[in-house]
Structure 1
Amino acid sequence: MSALLPPITLTRRDHQRLARTAEHLAGQMHPLATPLLRELRRATICAPDDVPDDVAALDTFVTYRLAGEDRSEKRMLIHPDDHMWPPAELSVLTPVGLSLLGLRAGDRMPLLGSGEAADACVEIEAVGPRVVGGFVPL
């Protein structure tokens, strides 16, 4: 299946942090542990300064649209431990958040770990800005 999926890019720090989270969740039989581990295995790892600006990384705002929806959503992609501003956040431990992780603007991805129909997917319309030190740069 991964041959049909768009490539994903993660920073080394995010990859390590998410791997620890996924292993912990696997021990609890969390339904998104296996899909998260699968995504981490196929990710390209790079230094934080080498992540392209249009990649949906942790602590980055992502504008996306679910298939069949008329309206786009804009949320900050977060690690589940990093709640700062709940109305504007999207955890990677949701099917939508996990599906967006590491994608680039313009990519389309099936909803991972969801009970939705097989053709349910999400498309990234735009990425940015990144949140640095709890602040959104101007």
Structure 2
Amino acid sequence: MATTIPLRGARRPPVHLIDSECDMLVDLALQIEGRSPAVAAMLLSEIERAETHSIDALPAGTVTIGSEVDFLDESTHRLRTVTLVMPGEADIEAGRVSVLTPVGAGLIGLREGQTIDWPDRDGQPHRLRILGVRRPE
């Protein structure tokens, strides 16, 4: 799998993360560095540029672990609804996407209405537009 890091210098939308999830996400990314260095680098890059918030101060419509996300892949015109989950809870058939996949690393921290150019598992670029976010209660 030839996943690449999004182009350096390419404009990417702001990322917002829950402060209590940041260390966990860093640990997860570091755990997979040997097996999936590109995905680990993509996730670490997003974490590094993220603005962190307490859960109560997180902007509305932000994708977090456990969020159900409606997004449009503008490259393929495919509308998808997924739930962003921890790796052990992933089940692609049930629409449960791990944060340690390229699409999961691209979605975490984005907000409704934002668009990001992001590679798939094969390194092919896709433009993902967040249409809706339902965070867990």
Question: In which range does the TM-score fall when normalised by the shorter chain?
Answer: 0.7 to 0.9
Tell me the residue number matched to 1:131.
Answer: 136
Residue 20 in 1 paired to residue 20 in 2? no
- Matched residue type, 1:70: H
Write out aligned runs for 1:1-138 (5 A).
Answer: 1=8, 4-83=11-90, 87-112=94-119, 114-118=121-125, 120-128=126-134, 130-132=135-137
Instruction: Give unmatched runs, 5+ long, in structure 1.
Output: 133-138
Aligned pairs, how many?
A: 130
Structure 1 vs Structure 2: percent identity of aligned residues? Answer: 26
1:110 and 1:68 mapped to 2: Cα distance? Answer: 10
Shift of 1:131: 2.2
CA change 1:84–1:112 in 2 (3 A) is: closer
Structure 2 unmatched ranges of 5 or more: 1-7
Alpha carbons 2:82, 2:95 under 8 Å: kept: yes
What is the deviation of 1:31? 2.9
Letter of the aligned partner of 1:9 in structure 2? H
Distance 1:117 1:85 in 2: 19
Provide the aligned C-alpha RMSD in A.
2.2
8 Å CA contact retained: 1:95, 1:114: yes
1:113–1:31 distance in 2 versus 1, CA, 3 Å: farther
The TM-score, its normalising length taken from structure 2, stands at 0.82
- Name the structure, 1 or 2, with higher relative contact order (CA <8 Å, separation 6+): 2
